Structure 1
Amino acid sequence: MSKPFDMELFLASVLTGSHATRQRHLRQGTLIQVEIANRWQRETPWTWQRKHLAWFLEHRLNRHSEMPRYYYFLTVRLLARRLQKTWEFTL
């Protein structure tokens, strides 16, 4: 049996800001991870490609208003930074 992925440990090196901001990024990162795992069976961010995060931003958030989309966009940028990728995303 494998251990569940620990998003807090994964993002620890790139998280900054207030406690509330860090908690929001962790919540959103976990949700992103679950959605990608359900759609593509990619359990950890180390196996993700740019298309997985782009899919999340374009298709899973299409019914959200502008502010939640922006906050998820910031979390996606943190994930890309942690993966040391130069991926660009648009809102």
Structure 2
Amino acid sequence: MSKPFDMELFLAGVLVGSHSTRQRHVRQAKIMQAEITKRWQLGTPWSWQRKHVAWFLDHHLGNRSEATRYYYLLTVRLLVSRLQKIWVFGSPID
């Protein structure tokens, strides 16, 4: 029996800002995790590749508002920072 992945603990080292901002990042990261897990059965960010995150940003957020995409992009940047990867995604100013 394995424990479920704790996204809040995973992001704890890179989360900054107010309580509501930290909670938003955790909530959005959990949504990303659920969608990527549903599509590719990859439950933890450690197993993700850049293409999985790009798919989420393009397909899951494709019809969302610019503000929503911006806030998810900020969360993605935290995840990438935590993973210590050099993945570059669109500019929030696009």
Whether these two folds match at TM > 0.5 is: yes
Shift of 1:2: 1.4
Gaps of 5+ in 1: none
Deviation string 1:21-46 (CA, Å, 9 cap, x unpaired) is 00000000000001000000001000
Q: Match for residue 58 of structure 1?
A: 58
Q: Match for residue 7 of structure 1?
A: 7
Q: TM-score if structure 2 supplies the norm length?
A: 0.94
Q: Match for residue 30 of structure 2?
A: 30
Q: TM-score if structure 1 supplies the norm length?
A: 0.97
- Alpha-carbon distance in structure 2 between the residues aligned to 1:79 and 1:52: 13
Q: Which amino acid aligns with 1:46?
A: W
- Provide the alpha-carbon RMSD of the alignment: 0.7
Stretches (4+) displaced over 3 A: none
SS in 2 for 1:63: coil
Aligned length: 91
Gaps of 5+ in 2: none
Q: Match for residue 49 of structure 1?
A: 49
Q: Which amino acid aligns with 2:11?
A: L
- Alpha-carbon distance in structure 1 between the residues aligned to 2:72 and 2:42: 19
Shift of 1:5: 0.7
Percent of pairs identical after alignment?
Answer: 68
SS in 1 for 2:15: coil
